[in-house]
Amino acid sequence: SAYHSVYGTYRSVRNTCAALLASQMRHLAFFSNARHYASSLEASLTPTEVPVEVYASLIDSVHRNVESLHHYTEVRRRALGLDTLRYWDLYVPIVKAPERRYTFEEACDLMLKALAPLGEKYVSVVRRALSERWIDVYETPGKMSGAYSADGHGMRPVILLNFQGTLDDVFTLVHEMGHSMQTWLSNETQPPRYQEYPMFVAEVASTTNECLLIRYLLDHTTDDAERLFLVNHFCEMFRGTLFRQTMFAEFERDANAACAAGEGVGADALCARYRALNDLYYGDAVQSDDEIAHEWARIPHFYYDYYVYVYATSFAAAVALSERMLREGEPAVADYLGFLSGGCSKTPIELLRGAGVDMASGEAVDAALARFAELVDELDRGI
């Protein structure tokens, strides 16, 4: 009912949404042409010092490994006992969640254990953050929703949470702590000119912490049902971050290219392009429909100038970095802390290469998606 209501409403204003998005794309095309860039994509990535090839290789890697997502949707279809999935079924739980709730103190203890592989230097600052109350923990009247980490020149980082004791809240805690720790280490190491770090690497630190937490939970659970839930949770992280954000990035790239070439970017053209991408990514287990074709109209990322891809690249880098640190120990941790301390003293690609991840080659994305395929195989055996 919600699905039909939401997308039925967007269908009724599809031409207005298409006109707004076309205006944004023409705006980007005008300034990229005026400044002699090859494309609005190149114009967007140049200030962040990220090569266009990184964007392209991300999409190519996902295309090479998209069968693993098809396998996941097929596992989901069988788990739900359906002949075919509809798009709303992608959000239905297929594994019963543990009923456990965490106090904030228990969440902090779990965070410290999960982040222990990062070494005492890192963990001691996390303890300091807890003891000095860098975190606004609970909901209060008038407090904004969500969570974030913020800082200013010459001040310590601060974290806003709305903690309610769920496992998702624990993941949010370690995520925001990752941001704050990158800020802290960069500010402690770099002069003011180089302290700010670009979006391309900002999500790596936070997502690496999430990967370390899920690995800790998987390694220490003794309950088969809980392990199956955690495996599915990790799969959903891949689906929602690496696959979905890459699909968004591909739509944004191709729609802007069509606009620059003078091709149609009306509602019909945008809907056809978006529906084809959903069919490609989710496979035959999911029944295509005209309503999902209108999802582009409600995605605000498409008005933000090619930034959404960094969620996918950051997730892939985080999987690679966490796996390397757990496998190699202290040398890999030293490289990673050097990355966190780098600010913007080097290009984002060079910073990650120094930590042991080459995002220019596509190997990190391929390795992350190979890990996803293993998780789906385990989920398939357990369902």
Pairing of strands 148-150, 158-160: antiparallel
Pairing of strands 135-136, 148-150: unpaired
If phi over 0 gives left and psi between -120 and 50 gives alpha, with beta otherwise, what is residue 154?
Answer: left
Q: How confident is the model at residue 303 (pLDDT cuts 50, 70, 90)?
A: confident
176 is an active site residue: yes
Q: Which fold has domain 1-99+183-383?
A: Neurolysin; domain 3 (1.10.1370)
SS3 content of the chain, % helix, strand, coil (to 5): 70, 5, 25
289 pLDDT more than 80: yes
Indicate the length of the chain as a whole number. Answer: 383
Nearest C-alpha neighbor of 182 from the set 197, 161, 171, 160: 197
Identity of residue 16: T
131 pLDDT more than 90: yes
Report in angstroms the alpha-carbon separations of 59 from 308, 334, 381. 13, 30, 29
Mean pLDDT of the chain: 94
Choose the catalytic residue: 176, 203, 291, 295. 176
pTM exceeds 0.75? yes
The string of pLDDT tens digits covering residues 65-115 is 999 999 999 999 999 999 999 999 999 999 988 888 999 999 999 999 999
153 pLDDT more than 80: no
Element (H, E) at 187: helix 167-189
Whole-angstrom distance, CA of residue 307 vs CA of residue 326: 30
* Residue 21 confidence (pLDDT): 96
Residues 52, 41 contacting (CB under 8 angstroms) = yes
* Residue 99 confidence (pLDDT): 83
Lowest-pLDDT choice from 106-115, 116-125, 303-312, 365-374: 303-312
Q: How confident is the model at residue 304 (pLDDT cuts 50, 70, 90)?
A: confident
209 pLDDT more than 80: yes
Whole-angstrom distance, CA of residue 151 vs CA of residue 325: 27
The string of pLDDT tens digits covering residues 28-62 is 999 999 999 999 999 999 998 999 999 999 999 99
Whole-angstrom distance, CA of residue 288 vs CA of residue 281: 11
- Map residue 183 onto helix, strand or coil: helix
